[in-house]
Amino acid sequence: MNDPKTTAGTPEIGKRAERLQVMLAEEELTALDDWRFNARMPSRSAAVRELIRRGLAAEGYFTQATQNDQSSSFGIFDRKG
């Protein structure tokens, strides 16, 4: 039985299959953590995805995400399922 979400070699829609490593200066990390805690984000990864999302939204790509969700709720693109 084939699951349409997991065809051979294709990650399921919305699944995070790529890792992005970012080097930050101490001040940048402090600013990120301060923003994360003030925004009540569940993780650094969620905070970074939300900031990317907001940056893209500012450029007209899409609307901002809401807060207080699990880390998996914060993606750059909306999940439609």
pTM: 0.59
Confidence of residue 81 (pLDDT cuts 50, 70, 90): very low
Average pLDDT in the chain: 75
Q: For 54-71, write each residue's pLDDT tens digit.
A: 888 887 776 545 556 566
Q: If you average pLDDT over residues 40-55, what whole number do you get?
A: 92
Sign of CA dihedral 80, 67, 54, 26: negative
Locate 51 and state its tokens.
């900031």
Q: Which residues contact 74 (CB under 8 A, 6 or more apart)?
A: 41, 42, 45, 46, 49, 50, 53, 65
Mean pLDDT of 10-36: 86
pLDDT of residue 8: 56
Run of H or E including 51: helix 44-58
pLDDT the model gives residue 12: 65
